């Protein structure tokens, strides 16, 4: 049986500062080596100053994954030389000297399968290496330390996955969960990375490192299973090793470095005293914990009668579910859910578009109310949405400026219908025997009014005129 | 105007208008110029000191608020960062390292209008107890320049003893303040772990070391503690001491106090002169109304072994950052691959640091940790338990600071094991986090002997009271400089 276990690294991107200093946790907007200080550069004499907020956020993750949370946590040093590591050791956590990591064993349901969590630890991210030069002979390595010291949470799972699809389902749930908790923005480049342990029946465990995105993780796992199966088919032994994911070629390559033989000489980080996490703090965190995705979904379905598929899509996206929760009322909830999932999600489908969009909960509420009171048709509503996203103008202004208001003036509509009947004699003839053709004629009316015709009134008037003719 | 005054006497004289900071600094610099060629306490001298003194004099004259140091010259062990000045750690590895920030103790003293007269010598990265492991040559004992001044804060002790400054800051990982204080006949203080911020002190063994003052009197030490102790957001291991005033009530005496004499610290191998000094100290304390009694702290026997195992482990990790990539000395990286570059760059470490790096790579490694590092940690916790037990019965513990007299330069440098044993009486305070003080006690054949008192954690104030009481019974000749 194929077994897959994951080690997921998630940056706490929503924090203000790094794990041990006041440099920005959001290093992405800085020029190279400008988001650094004596502490994250490990300058002689500097000491780590623990970011208490990071401890809280990591505890929140542990609780959301149903992990045990110890009363006291400790940090350890993982000693190894690497150019991206300013101190040549990483401050991290482990459980070999008792349960001192921020999260112990836990689990999460993926579909109807339970995935067990081994441990959750809080640690510092290293810097970033940039390679320049074409051949290996004249290659130079540059180091950008802006990322060094960024708070990172490592989530280690048991080898409970059986196939890449399974892995993907878990990752989708996990990244929605992390986003919903408000601890991380998984869409940021490098915010989520992973290592995978893969073994097939009768083979040794192979660790695949250096996977830079969840998208590639699924591919890497798939590649590794195929590779191991083909070895197995040819009776070649699968050895225990560490392999690296080659991002460009989309394959795994055996690491020539003897990483697995490294002795990290773990010992307690004396510069950070043991931290007591009082039960009161945990209780407080529990109260502050945002509503879980599954509970949101449940609420949307039972309270507002929103179809389960729509509720599913809406609840798993933090941005849209928050917009929904802020804008809806008892009476317009279904309409708003509909606007978000059928129109808005298509129009605003990237991070950049979300940041640029000017839409507010008020817009959504007004728009839904306008549809429900038949001031505006659904088709026009989509046009209005387009304009609101760009300009942020009020729904009333957009309707009047773009002349989107429903045409419900009977004589005006009658004139238009007359024109349609005159220009479509064939369809009119057919409509007498085939009711489907009536829809075609209504479409023509909509076309002429740019979607503004009151649909119900149009249909009534059309039927009347057809009967009269 | 004499340089031979205590720090508090300096303060008084400046306040009385008897001396000016500028004159005192000028005279100090002149004196350093004269004697330091022989003593080699200083690695660098503050070129701007006179200007700084002038500014402080102006403040005094115009009646502005002046910090409690009034421009007194303070020397700083060269393992503490002063912004924009060289911090070498006595190592070729950091020969050109210019600190871009101030250590917490430095910024606190700057606020008090101290003048940092210079950076003083130490064994490389504070590893040693003679200054002979300084990459820039040893300091000499002012009592007899053929003898070692002790270490690793040897430069601090020499500069205080030879009147090259009013006070000094050293660091004490296993006795590095108290040992040279004892050898040079000055007061040396290792506070409770966490009492003074280590931010800006270059780590050697961070879980047990502390910055500590070296002064001419116990009162001066209390004065210094008032300025530099307490909670620091930049050092998570600091303790809130509620701004205790260490000077007030320093003359409270020790009548009725119980003092334990640590048997294992006056055991075989103790120099007879040191032993008799200890007995003399006990008699004097009893004369002051204290009750003295012998006590056995069994784990002391293993303390030095545990100390070297733990410090080597931490040093191996703390000194790993010196790969010369981000700062260090001039050695271009072109043509090297990472691992070959750093192993070559790190050859700049001297022999003692190299020795401890090798030990530090071995004792905590997989397969050996159980036999060495974890065992050492066990000794540390058992020793702490024993000492905690002892403090249930006693207010203070006493032992000579060093079991032997100062020795000649070069005498023990090739015998690291013999050197290690000089630490036997000092490492206990570090391993247990307790405060300890060495005060000048007597002179034997022209060489100083210091006496050491210990107290329980956060009993620093009462420890200073006891040390002050004992200090009052001592009359010593002037240093022959």
Interface membership of B63 toward A (CB under 8 Å): no
Q: Which residue has the higher pLDDT, B236 or A213?
A: B236
> Which of B45-68 are b and which e, b meaning 16 or more Cβ less than 10 Å from the residue's Cβ?
bbeebbebbeebbebbeeeeebbb
Q: Please, is A409 exposed, middle or buried when counting C-beta atoms within 10 Å of its C-beta (0-12, 13-18, 19+)?
A: exposed
Interface membership of A52 toward B (CB under 8 Å): no
User: 3-class SS at A394?
Assistant: coil
pLDDT, one tens digit per residue, over B367-420 is 899 999 999 999 999 999 999 999 999 999 999 999 999 999 999 888 877 777
Which H helix or E strand runs over B170? strand B167-172
Chain CA centroid to CA B149, Å? 12
CB A232 within 8 A of CB B278: no
Q: Which residues of A touch B79 (CB under 8 A)?
A: 45
Give yes or no for residue B340 having a pLDDT over 80.
yes
Q: With pLDDT > 70 as the criterion, what percentage of chain A qualifies?
A: 97
Place of tokens 């023990």: B412
Q: What is the dihedral of CA A174, A179, A184, A190, to 10 degrees?
A: 60
CB B74 within 8 A of CB B164: no
| Closest by Cβ to A89, choosing from B97, B317, B326 | B317
| Among B40, B31, B30, B24, residue whose Cα is nearest residue B78 | B40
What ranges in A245-392 are assigned the alpha helix state H? Answer: 279-288, 293-304, 308-315, 318-327, 333-338, 345-347, 351-356, 361-372, 378-391
How far is Cα B107 from Cα B412, in angstroms, rounded to an integer?
38
Interface membership of B94 toward A (CB under 8 Å): yes
Give yes or no for residue B97 having a pLDDT over 60.
yes
| Closest by Cβ to B200, choosing from A45, A48, A86 | A45
pLDDT beneath 70: ranges in chain A: 134-137, 256-261, 469
Interchain contact, A38 vs B100, CB within 8 Å: yes
What DSSP designation does B325 have? S
Tallying the residues shown for chain A, one arrives at 469
How much is the mean pLDDT over chain B?
Answer: 96
| Closest by Cβ to A87, choosing from B237, B320, B366 | B320
Give the model's pLDDT for residue A166. Answer: 92
Structure tokens at A8: 């997921």
Q: Which residue has the higher pLDDT, A211 or B262?
A: B262
Interface membership of A143 toward B (CB under 8 Å): yes
Give A140's strand partners.
A132
Q: Is the ipTM above a cut-off of 0.90?
A: yes
| CB atoms closer than 10 angstroms to residue B115 | 28
pLDDT, one tens digit per residue, over A253-283 is 998 655 556 799 999 999 999 999 999 989 9
Give the model's pLDDT for residue A469. Answer: 65
| CB atoms closer than 10 angstroms to residue A390 | 13
Give the model's pLDDT for residue A257. Answer: 56
CB A127 within 8 A of CB A148: yes
Interchain contact, B101 vs A271, CB within 8 Å: no
What ranges in B4-153 are assigned the alpha helix state H? Answer: 7-15, 21-39, 49-61, 104-111
Q: Which active-site residues of B does the annotation give? A: 77, 152, 176
Give the model's pLDDT for residue A261. Answer: 64
How far is Cα A281 from Cα B92, in angstroms, rounded to an integer?
48
Nearest CA in chain A to B102: A45
User: 3-class SS at B273?
Assistant: helix
User: 3-class SS at A235?
Assistant: coil
Give the model's pLDDT for residue B151. Answer: 94
Give B77's strand partners.
B120
Q: Please, is A114 exposed, middle or buried when counting C-beta atoms within 10 Å of its C-beta (0-12, 13-18, 19+)?
A: exposed
Specify whether the backbone of A126 is left (phi greater than 0), alpha (psi in -120 to 50) or beta.
Answer: beta
Give the model's pLDDT for residue B384. Answer: 98
pLDDT, one tens digit per residue, over B145-154 is 999 999 999 9
Distance from CA of A88 to the nearest CA of B (A): 5
pLDDT, one tens digit per residue, over B4-51 is 999 999 999 999 999 999 999 999 999 999 999 999 999 999 999 999
Which pTM value belongs to this model? 0.90
Give the model's pLDDT for residue B222. Answer: 98
How far is Cα B296 from Cα B358, in angstroms, rounded to an integer?
34
CB B230 within 8 A of CB B238: yes
Interchain contact, A87 vs B364, CB within 8 Å: no
What ranges in A208-269 are assigned the alpha helix state H? Answer: 214-233
CB A388 within 8 A of CB A358: yes
| Among B134, B141, B101, residue whose Cα is nearest residue B120 | B134
| Closest by Cβ to A86, choosing from B79, B94, B326 | B326
């Amino acid at each position: 049986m194929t077994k897959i276990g994951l080690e997921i690294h998630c940056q706490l991107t929503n924090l203000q500062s790094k794990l041990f200093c006041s440099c920005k946790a959001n290093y992405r907007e800085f020029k190279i080596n400008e988001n650094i200080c004596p502490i994250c550069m490990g300058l002689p004499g500097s000491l780590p100053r623990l970011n208490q907020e990071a401890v809280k956020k990591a505890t929140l993750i542990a609780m959301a994954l149903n992990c045990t949370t110890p009363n006291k946590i400790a940090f350890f040093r993982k000693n190894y030389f690497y150019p991206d590591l300013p101190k040549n050791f990483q401050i991290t956590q482990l459980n070999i000297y008792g349960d001192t990591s921020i999260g112990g064993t836990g689990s999460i349901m993926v579909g109807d399968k339970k995935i067990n969590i081994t441990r959750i630890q809080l640690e510092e991210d290293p810097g970033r290496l940039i390679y320049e030069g074409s051949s290996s002979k004249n290659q130079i390595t540059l180091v950008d330390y802006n990322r060094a010291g960024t708070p990172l949470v490592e989530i280690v799972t048991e080898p409970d996955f059986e196939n890449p699809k399974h892995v993907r389902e878990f990752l989708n749930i996990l990244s929605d969960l992390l986003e919903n908790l408000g601890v991380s923005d998984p869409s940021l480049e490098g915010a989520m990375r992973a290592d995978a342990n893969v073994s097939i029946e009768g083979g040794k465990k192979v660790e695949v490192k250096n996977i830079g995105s969840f998208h590639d993780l699924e591919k890497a796992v798939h590649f590794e299973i195929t590779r191991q199966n083909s070895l197995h088919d040819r009776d070649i032994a699968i050895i225990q090793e560490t392999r690296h994911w080659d991002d460009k070629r989309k394959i795994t390559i055996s690491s020539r470095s003897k990483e697995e033989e490294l002795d990290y000489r773990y010992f307690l980080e004396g510069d950070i005293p043991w931290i007591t996490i009082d039960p009161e703090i945990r209780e407080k965190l529990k109260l502050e914990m945002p509503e879980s995705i599954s509970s949101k979904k449940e609420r949307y379905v039972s309270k507002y009668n929103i179809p389960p598929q729509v509720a599913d899509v809406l609840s798993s996206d933090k941005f849209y579910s928050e917009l929904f929760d802020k804008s809806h009322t008892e009476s317009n909830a279904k309409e708003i859910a509909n606007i978000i999932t059928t129109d808005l999600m298509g129009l605003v489908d990237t991070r950049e578009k979300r940041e640029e969009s000017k839409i507010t909960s008020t817009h959504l509420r007004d728009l839904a109310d306008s549809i429900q009171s038949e001031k505006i048709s659904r088709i026009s509503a989509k046009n209005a949405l387009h304009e609101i996203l760009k300009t942020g103008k009020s729904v009333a202004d957009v309707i009047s400026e773009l002349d989107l208001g429903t045409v419900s003036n009977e004589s005006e509509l009658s004139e238009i219908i007359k024109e349609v009947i005159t220009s479509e004699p064939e369809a009119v003839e057919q409509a007498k025997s085939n009711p489907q053709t009536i829809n075609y004629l209504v479409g023509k009316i909509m076309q002429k009014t740019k979607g503004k015709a009151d649909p119900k009134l149009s249909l009534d008037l059309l039927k009347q005129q057809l009967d009269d003719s | 105007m004499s340089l031979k005054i205590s720090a508090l006497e300096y303060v008084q004289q400046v306040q009385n208008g008897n001396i000016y900071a500028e004159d005192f600094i000028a005279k100090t610099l002149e004196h350093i110029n004269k004697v330091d060629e022989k003593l080699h306490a200083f690695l660098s001298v503050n070129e701007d000191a006179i200007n700084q003194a002038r500014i402080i004099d102006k403040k005094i004259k115009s009646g502005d608020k002046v910090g409690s140091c009034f421009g007194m010259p303070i020397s700083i062990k060269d393992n503490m960062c002063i912004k924009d000045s060289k911090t070498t750690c006595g190592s070729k590895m950091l020969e050109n390292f210019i600190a871009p920030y101030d250590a917490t103790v430095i910024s606190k003293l700057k606020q008090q209008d101290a003048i940092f007269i210079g950076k003083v010598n130490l064994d490389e990265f504070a590893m040693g107890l003679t200054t002979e492991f300084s990459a820039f040559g040893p300091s000499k004992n002012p009592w007899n320049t053929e003898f070692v001044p002790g270490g690793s804060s040897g430069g601090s002790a020499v500069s205080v003893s030879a009147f090259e400054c009013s006070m000094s800051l050293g660091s004490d990982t296993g006795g590095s303040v108290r040992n040279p204080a004892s050898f040079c006949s000055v007061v040396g203080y290792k506070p409770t772990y966490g009492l003074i911020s280590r931010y800006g002190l270059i780590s050697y063994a961070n879980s047990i070391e502390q910055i500590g003052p070296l002064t001419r009197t116990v009162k001066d030490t209390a004065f210094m503690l008032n300025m530099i102790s307490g909670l620091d957001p930049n050092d998570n291991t600091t303790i809130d001491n509620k701004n205790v005033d260490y000077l007030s009530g320093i003359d409270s005496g020790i009548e009725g106090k119980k003092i334990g004499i640590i048997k294992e610290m006056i055991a075989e191998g103790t120099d007879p002169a040191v032993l008799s000094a200890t007995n003399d100290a006990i008699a004097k304390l009893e004369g002051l109304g204290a009750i003295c009694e012998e006590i056995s702290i069994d784990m002391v026997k293993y303390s030095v072994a545990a100390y070297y195992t733990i410090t080597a482990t931490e040093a191996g990790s703390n000194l790993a950052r010196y790969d010369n990539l981000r700062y260090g000395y001039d050695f271009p990286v072109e043509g090297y691959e990472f691992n070959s570059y750093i192993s070559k760059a790190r050859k700049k470490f001297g022999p003692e640091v190299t020795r401890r790096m090798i030990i530090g790579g071995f004792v905590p490694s997989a397969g050996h940790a159980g036999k060495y590092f974890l065992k050492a940690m066990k000794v540390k916790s058992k020793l702490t338990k024993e000492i905690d037990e002892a403090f249930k019965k006693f207010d203070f513990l006493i032992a000579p600071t060093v079991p032997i007299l100062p020795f000649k330069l070069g005498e023990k440098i090739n015998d690291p094991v013999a050197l290690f044993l000089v630490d036997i009486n000092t490492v206990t305070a570090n391993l247990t986090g307790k405060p300890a003080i060495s005060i000048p006690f007597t002179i034997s054949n022209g060489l100083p002997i210091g006496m050491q008192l210990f107290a329980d954690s956060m009993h620093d104030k009462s420890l200073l009271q006891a040390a002050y009481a004992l200090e009052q019974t001592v009359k010593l000749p002037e240093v022959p400089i």
